[in-house]
Amino acid sequence: MSEWEGSDPLVIVRGEGCWLIDSDGNRYLDGVGSIWTNVHGHAVPEINQAIKEQLDRIEHSTLLGLTNDKAAILAKQLVDIAPEGITKVFYSDNGSTAVEIGLKMAFQYWQHLGKPGKTRFISFRNAYHGDTIGAVSVGGIDLFHAVFNPLLFKAIHAPSPYCYRCELCPEKNHNHCQKECLTELERLIATNADELAGLVIEPLVQGAGGMIVQPPGFLQRVRELCDKYDILMIADEVAVGFGRSGKMFACQQEGITPDIMALSKGITGGYLPLAATMTTQQVYDAFLGEYRELKTFFHGHTFTGNPVCCTAALASLELFNKKQILAALPPKIDYLAERLGHIITHDHVGDVRQCGLIAGIELVKNKTTREPYIWEERIGVQVCQEAQKHGLFLRPLGNVIVIFPPLVISLDELKLLMDGIEASIQTICSNS
């Protein structure tokens, strides 16, 4: 806090495509997509126009006992693009609440099914599901979460399959790591199955944990384990949803359908706060009952299904179609892979990880021993500050440089981004 008081942060006053413009007129390429939300760039004419028209109709009306046209149309469109079998939508307004709702829904589901003992959750070490208390309880990043321990419910934490730092995987080999982690996961699930309501996972990539990419097939195996032991699978697609992985949703990369899916960040193209917790007919039906049965899901946020936010989401989905956003991704994903393949050769780059248009570059003090930079060195922050001189805005996760640009970034812009990152790593890490 003391440092923040003394600092002089950039003041962003305008956006143009993938660029942020500050109060002095400097331009920065938005390398982290305004914290992993931005899809179509900034100040997009089509989305702006849709929002303006909606404002002249109505700004907000409650979803308690009413609906609005935009929320209803969006729900239909979300179902159309969701994994097969996901057919119901419950709105809220940020990623943390989308996860909270998923947890409460899974919990109450088993109560209605006459299995009141199924009250616990299993999640992964190094996971991030948001900053509200329930989401923190299933989170696994000690730096963010440890101080709140006395406030949390006790979740079971399974190892995260990541051989670069995995304690179960001395061989540092992907297949071995995946096998060990799945064995341990199954042991934990089997031991606690009678008490488990659900499993929570960030599919394909643990985001805030450092852009940790799961081995191929892992998600499918997790789905199989949830089926085998009869627990609900909650997929937190808050970061990876809406095209990031190369498909609309990460679960679709492995052809699986979760029981509950949390969406937020990219849902409005990065414009406005909105979230959705989607689920199956099966979960929905458990809540279906007469008034006196009290099967109601008592959870409602004031601005749930706000029509201006839903309008932004509809305009974003229309652009996904019109501009064929997903079809345009493969060359960018390939180019990113090619550049990462070169960056990994740097003396202070220990690992590079990529999933679609998400990447993490892990900086290390010693490449051979994998000795990390100590956190006081703030190597990630230093590299990102250096990158500002190259006209980039980046925000690291500890020693990991994060790449998470708007999906519409051009190949030329992506080249600028990677050139700037490479040069900044060279300058900062070679001196430390």
Ligand X SMILES: *Cc1c(COP(=O)(O)O)cnc(C)c1O
The one-letter code for the residue type at 402 is: V
CB-nearer residue toward ligand X: 202 or 422: 202
User: Does the annotation list 301 as a binding residue?
Assistant: yes
User: Does the annotation list 236 as a binding residue?
Assistant: yes
Binding site for ligand X (CB under 6 A): 94-96, 99, 128-130, 202, 207-208, 236, 238-239, 264-265
User: Does the annotation list 302 as a binding residue?
Assistant: yes
CB-nearer residue toward ligand X: 94 or 280: 94
User: Does an H or E element contain 83, and which?
Assistant: none
CB 348 within 8 A of CB 429: yes
> What's the closest the beta carbon of residue 131 comes to ligand X, in angstroms?
6
CB-nearer residue toward ligand X: 44 or 238: 238
Spell out a b/e string for 51-79, using b for 16 or more CB atoms within 10 Å of the CB, else e.
Answer: beebeeeeeeeebeeeebebbeebbebbe
> What's the closest the beta carbon of residue 272 comes to ligand X, in angstroms?
12
User: Does the annotation list 128 as a binding residue?
Assistant: yes
User: Does the annotation list 341 as a binding residue?
Assistant: no
| Chain residue whose CB lies nearest ligand X | 95
User: Does the annotation list 165 as a binding residue?
Assistant: no
CB-nearer residue toward ligand X: 132 or 427: 132
CA count, 13 A, side-chain hemisphere, 71: 24
CB-nearer residue toward ligand X: 200 or 286: 200
> What's the closest the beta carbon of residue 403 comes to ligand X, in angstroms?
15
> What's the closest the beta carbon of residue 203 comes to ligand X, in angstroms?
9
> What's the closest the beta carbon of residue 125 comes to ligand X, in angstroms?
15
Beta bridge mates, 361: 352, 401
**Tokens 């981004």 — which residue?**
417
What is the C-alpha to C-alpha distance for residues 62 and 78, in angstroms, rounded to an integer? 20
Beta strands 358-366 and 371-372 are: antiparallel
CB-nearer residue toward ligand X: 35 or 64: 35
> What's the closest the beta carbon of residue 247 comes to ligand X, in angstroms?
17
Task: Give 205: exposed, middle or buried? Use CB within 10 Å, 0-12, 13-18, 19+.
Answer: buried
The Cα-based distances of 175 to 26, 166, 168, 179, 361 in angstroms read 46, 12, 12, 6, 21
User: Does the annotation list 96 as a binding residue?
Assistant: yes
CB-nearer residue toward ligand X: 127 or 408: 127
The Cα-based distances of 22 to 14, 15, 414 in angstroms read 7, 9, 21
Tokens of 379: 């190597």
User: Does the annotation list 300 as a binding residue?
Assistant: yes
**Signed CA dihedral, 233, 237, 243, 245: sign only:** negative
Known binding-site positions for substrate: 128, 265, 300, 395
User: Binding site residues, as ranges?
Assistant: 95-96, 128, 236, 265, 300-302, 395
Return binding residues for pyridoxal 5'-phosphate: 95-96, 236, 301-302
